[in-house]
Amino acid sequence: MAVAIFGAGCFWGVEAAFRGLDGVTDTAVGYMGGDLDHPTYEDVCTDRTGHAEVVRVEYDPERVSYEQLLKKFWEIHDPTTLNRQGPDIGTQYRSVIFYEDQMQQAAASAAKAELERSGRFSRPVVTAILPAGPFWRAEEYHQRYLEKRGLKGCGLPGPQGAD
């Protein structure tokens, strides 16, 4: 199995969107990119730890490619809003791809450049592409949050696409 890590706003809807892809074998929501070890949801919500809410996607590369995961990532959120998705505001909701290796870095950079050239958005794409650091798994009540409640998405309108 391979791992991909994406931040695209509130991790509940992002996780649900990736769980629905054939070839995704597991997901976990958590925090990455900050400077506090073992952050809690409350810590991250202060917008002072530097962490992003992320989804760690475990996938079978023989069934789904990293490029297909990137395609889903671009579809489910607005990569032109800095530190915001829908009603959620703060650096923890930023658009970010954390890469595991040089292949992922190159693929993410190429996909971002292609999206910028496509003219799909009238504003610049602000998605950060950064090396993966420690992944801090979120509290258990956040894991598969929507699924546990019988929901398919967050219900946010627009490019979230996870609803």
Q: What pLDDT was estimated at residue 136?
A: 98
Element (H, E) at 88: strand 88-89
Rounded to an integer, the average pLDDT of 19-26 is 96
Rounded to an integer, the average pLDDT of 6-21 is 93
Mind listing the pLDDT tens digit for each residue in 91-120? 999 999 999 999 999 999 999 999 999 999
Mind listing the pLDDT tens digit for each residue in 128-155? 999 999 999 999 888 887 777 777 766 5
Rounded to an integer, the average pLDDT of 27-43 is 97
Q: What are the C-alpha distances in Å from 101 to residues 9, 79, 96, 124, 136?
A: 23, 22, 15, 25, 19
| Per CATH, domain 2-160 is 3.30.1060.10 | yes
Q: What pLDDT was estimated at residue 116?
A: 95
Catalytic annotation, pick one of 10, 44, 69, 132: 10
Rounded to an integer, the average pLDDT of 41-66 is 97
Q: Is 154 a catalytic residue?
A: no
Element (H, E) at 3: strand 2-8
Q: Mutual orientation of helices 66-75 and 102-118 as an angle, nearest 10°?
A: 40
Rounded to an integer, the average pLDDT of 79-94 is 94
